[in-house]
Amino acid sequence: MSVRFLLAAVMVLLSALAAEAQQAAAPSTATAPASTPTFVSPASAGPAGAASPAKASADASPRQPVTRVTSGNGSLPNEGGQLYREYDISPYTARITTTKRPEQAIVDWILRETGYETWHSDPLAILSAGPRTLRVYHTPQVQSAVGEIVDRFNSTDSEAQAFSLRVITVDSPNWRVRVQRLLSPVPVQTPGAQAWLLEKEAAAVLLTELRRRSDYREHNSPQLLVNNGQPTVVSATRGRNYVRDVKIRADAWPGFEPETAIVDEGFTLEFTPLLSLDGKTVDAAIRCDIDQVERMVPVTLNVPTTVAPRQSTKIEVPQMVHVRFHERFRWQADRILVVGMGIVPVPVPSDPKSIVPGLPLPITSGPPRADLLLLVESRGKAAPQTPQVTNGNASPAGYYRAR
At 106 the pLDDT is: 96
Nearest to 333 by CA among 86, 163, 84: 163
pLDDT single digits (tens) 78-109: 999 999 999 999 999 998 887 889 999 999 99
At 358 the pLDDT is: 44
- 164 plus 130 within the same structural domain: no
- 172 plus 310 within the same structural domain: yes
- 88 plus 172 within the same structural domain: no
- In a 13 Å sphere around the CA of 22, the CA atoms on its Cβ side amount to 6
pLDDT single digits (tens) 171-191: 999 999 999 999 999 999 999
Burial class (CB in 10 A: 0-12, 13-18, 19+), 375: buried
pLDDT single digits (tens) 244-292: 999 988 888 888 999 999 999 999 999 999 999 888 999 999 999 999 9
CATH of the domain at 121: 3.30.1370
- Domain assignment present for residue 43? The answer is no
Number of structural domains (the chain) is 2
Q: Is 157's pLDDT higher than 90?
A: no
CA 130 remoteness from chain centre: 21
Q: What is the pTM of this model?
A: 0.72
| Domain assignment of residue 143, given as a range | 83-154
- Domain assignment present for residue 207? The answer is yes
pLDDT single digits (tens) 31-81: 444 444 444 444 444 444 444 555 555 556 888 889 999 888 888 889 999
**Single residue among 154, 182, 209 that ends a domain in this structure:** 154
- In a 13 Å sphere around the CA of 214, the CA atoms on its Cβ side amount to 0
- 135 plus 199 within the same structural domain: no
Comparing 165-174, 229-238, 323-332, the range with the smallest average pLDDT is: 229-238
Q: Is 395's pLDDT higher than 80?
A: no
- 136 plus 165 within the same structural domain: no
- 185 plus 293 within the same structural domain: yes
At 27 the pLDDT is: 47
**Single residue among 154, 177, 199 that ends a domain in this structure:** 154
- Domain assignment present for residue 52? The answer is no
- 150 plus 172 within the same structural domain: no
- 87 plus 234 within the same structural domain: no
Residue of 339 and 353 predicted with greater confidence = 339
Q: Is 213's pLDDT higher than 60?
A: yes
Round to whole Å and give the CA distance between 86 and 88: 7
